[in-house]
Amino acid sequence: MLGTLKTDFRIIFERDPAARSWLEVLFCYPGLQALLFHRFAHHLWSMGLPFIPRLISHGARFFTGIEIHPGAAIGQGVFIDHGMGVVIGETAIVGDYSLIYQGVTLGGTGKETGKRHPTLGDNVVVGAGAKVLGNIEIGNNVRIGAGSVVLRAVPSDCTVVGVPGRIVYRSGERVGPLEHGRLPDSEAQVIRALVDRIEALEQQVNRLKTGSPVTSESEAPTTDHRSGRDVATVGSATDRCHLSDRVIEEFLGGAGI
């Protein structure tokens, strides 16, 4: 346990640029304090004590604003940043070196018994206000965007955004654990694809109405929405349709629709 506590302490300096001294981290970081309380309470819980672990958990919630059930299994090097409003349920499992921001809930979806809370793999980042609910598995190196609601399992090396959470694959690109500003906006991508499709159909309808010859696919103009001018596109209209189809299918498939 001592080695785990040292790892919990060191990871704060690696992931929080505001951490300046060990004294500041020890006394002014509620995430670390909540983990200290929890690891002691979890040890007593594992021994079968019925009341004292819950009392320790309740006291930690009062002092830190972070509620961790003593039955939850928390790996080493976990960093709860700020932490106010974080709730981690009884059967939740959090992997090593995960990063959890304020307002996160790792909760259940009903009154079922047994394993009813999520399992997070290693190096998972859960953004502020995100909710991960039910007995689902979140793979390693997953990024969950702020405010997302995740109700289905997520494979490793994926990014999840939206309500309900939709999976966005980021193949070939590594994203740092603190780079939340680079999370993709899947809804905006799909809306852009649909708007492009509507504009292409409107152009075809207008040509048919006026009786003008249809422009070849390779020379079909498209609109630059930032300047409002028609510009030449690279590739055929068919390729663009296939690209937008793939974006829409990934959006719907990521939510299990």
Indicate whether 178 and 192 sit together in one domain.
Answer: no
Indicate whether 193 and 167 sit together in one domain.
Answer: no
In this predicted structure, what is the pLDDT of residue 165?
Answer: 81
Q: Which domain holds residue 136?
A: 2-182
Indicate whether 108 and 200 sit together in one domain.
Answer: no
Indicate whether 147 and 76 sit together in one domain.
Answer: yes
Indicate whether 6 and 132 sit together in one domain.
Answer: yes
In this predicted structure, what is the pLDDT of residue 98?
Answer: 93
Indicate whether 137 and 195 sit together in one domain.
Answer: no
In this predicted structure, what is the pLDDT of residue 122?
Answer: 93
Indicate whether 158 and 202 sit together in one domain.
Answer: no
Q: DSSP for the chain, please give it.
A: -HHHHHHHHHHHHHH-TT---HHHHHHH-HHHHHHHHHHHHHHHHHTT-SSHHHHHHHHHHHHHS-EE-TT-EE-TT-EE-S-TT-EE-TT-EE-TT-EE-TT-EEE-SSS--SS-S-EE-TT-EE-TT-EEESS-EE-TT-EE-TT-EE-S-B-SSEEEETTTTEEEE-TT----TT-GGG---HHHHHHHHHHHHHHHHHHHHHHHHHTPPPPPGGG-EEEETTTTEEEE-SS-HHHHHHHHHHHHHHHHHHTT-
In this predicted structure, what is the pLDDT of residue 126?
Answer: 94
Indicate whether 59 and 122 sit together in one domain.
Answer: yes
pLDDT along the chain (257 residues), means of 10: 83 87 90 94 92 94 94 93 92 94 90 88 92 93 90 88 76 53 62 78 83 55 46 48 62 53
Which residue, 163, 182, 201, sits at the end of a domain? Answer: 182
In this predicted structure, what is the pLDDT of residue 198?
Answer: 83
In this predicted structure, what is the pLDDT of residue 140?
Answer: 92
Indicate whether 21 and 126 sit together in one domain.
Answer: yes
Put simply, whether the predicted model's pTM sits higher than 0.75 gets the answer no
Which residue, 147, 182, 217, sits at the end of a domain? Answer: 182
